[in-house]
A and B are shown apart, each in its own frame.
Chain A
Amino acid sequence: MSKLAEIFEKYQADIITDWIKEMSAANRRKDLMSESELKLQTNELLHAITDASKNGNSSDINAPHWAPVREMITSISSSRAKQGFTPTETASFVFSLKQPISNRIRKEFGKDPDALFEELSASNFLIDNLGLYSADAYVKTREQIIVRQQEEMLELSTPVVKLWDGILALPLIGTLDSARTQVVMESLLRTIVETNSQIAIIDITGVPTVDTKVAQHLLKTVTAARLMGAECIISGIRPQIAQTIVHLGINLTDIITKSKMSDAFALALQRTGKTVVKRMQPLIPSTNSGAVS
């Protein structure tokens, strides 16, 4: 067994007490985590570190016998990222372990400078690596959170609206990169099913560039909608976009297109057997309008 492992084993309780003290001095967030929860985490992590250093050397935390420690640090760091801890607060959880261990090493090897130096550098190296590992895990979780939020925003920014019974509209705005178009396509198809709609108007007035990629996504959406029994109308094709589509060689002849959304809506009403008629006389407000006679 390495000397470091012996020290972890021998002073476990002391190290934990000091470790928690160290953290209260540095960055304890009592608002985010209870004392008992923190005690549990420190206990488990120190046990895992002790086991790992008993099972082999501690110079490479990526070695297989450090896997349980890595897993634990990942889970602690990512749950802290989700709870709103800062990166410093998260990493200092691991770094706060440095002083308590160093103190025990000094106590044990104080009279042997060579051993003292060796064990101090070994433990510092280990804690630094674990701390960096924790920072990486924190960042990774934050990135996942950001990606998820982006996706949620995409979903929000592509609203499928019901214009009328059986008629949906999807006003697209902005850059249609593939991730977004995928979301658009899925939410439109889902809403077609949910609302049992026959017609979907896809309006691209707000899309600045229609290139082959965007066109391909639109065509796929139209085809998929067709398979589900709904017809799509693409509206809002501005003159300059119409010209580039032609130059690119994209074939939209199979697709119903309208330059204005209002024209598309009129067609949709017609296709679903509805007509809009103007009243001969304006409605006269009556006092018993709600009454059933």
Chain B
Amino acid sequence: MPPRTLETLTLASVSDIVIARQRARHWAIEMKFSLVEQTKIVTAASELARNTVEHGGGGTMVISTDGNRIRQALKLTFEDKGLGIADVEQAMRDGFTTSGGMGLGLGGSKRLMNQFEIDSRLGQGTRVTVTRWK
């Protein structure tokens, strides 16, 4: 099965984070992920959507599928045109925060998902892609 975009959402405000969670849950259920997996996907979506809104100044979330007939994946891509991250390695570290948060969003969503890619350029923006395989 070729990669397929299921839905694109705008992330501008806190209420969009609620919708991002709802849509992530919808597709996780649709793809018949287990309850534990659904919860992991939704929680990662919540973290990354909040980062997009709070740190990236807003952006988009794309929900897509990937995989073959035997294994399928749910993929979430978060993109913003914000300030970007100066030191990605540092940002990934547990406990690092520039906003008084817990500093667990990036590292946590990496652990909740199977694949985690981050591409951030200072002054240009950030893109995070996470994938969960069935």
Question: Chain A residues in contact with chain B, CB under 8 A?
Answer: 175, 177-178, 208-213, 215-216, 239-241, 243-244, 247-250
Contacts and interface: CB of A to CB of B under 8 A. Distances in A.
A239 B34 CA distance: 12
B39 A243 contact: yes
B43 A244 contact: yes
A202 to B, nearest CB: 18
Contacts, number: 66
Contact of B40 (A216, A239, A243, A250): A243
B111 A247 contact: yes
Given A209-B42, A212-B47, A248-B43, A243 B102 contact: no
Contact of A209 (B43, B102, B104): B43
Contacts of B21: 175, 208-209
B40 A247 contact: yes
A217 B107 CA distance: 19
Contacts of A212: 47, 101-102, 104-105, 108
Interface of B: 14-15, 17-18, 21, 25, 35-36, 38-40, 42-43, 46-47, 50, 94, 101-102, 104-105, 107-108, 111-112
A187 B62 CA distance: 38
Given A212-B105, A244-B43, A249 B111 contact: yes
Contacts of B35: 240
24 contacts: A175-B21, A177-B14, A177-B15, A209-B21, A209-B46, A211-B47, A212-B101, A212-B105, A213-B46, A216-B101, A216-B102, A240-B35, A241-B39, A243-B36, A243-B39, A243-B40, A244-B40, A247-B40, A247-B112, A248-B47, A248-B104, A248-B112, A249-B108, A249-B111
Closest CB pairs A-B (n = 5): A248-B108, A240-B39, A211-B46, A247-B111, A240-B36
Q: Is the interface of B mostly helix, strand, loop or mixed?
A: helix
Contacts of A239: 36
A240 to B, nearest CB: 4
Contacts of A178: 14
Nearest to B49: A211
B102 A210 contact: no
Given A210-B43, A239-B36, A250 B14 contact: no
Nearest to A178: B14
A37 to B, nearest CB: 39
B54 to A, nearest CB: 9
A249 to B, nearest CB: 5
Contacts of B36: 239-240, 243
Nearest to B38: A240
A172 to B, nearest CB: 15
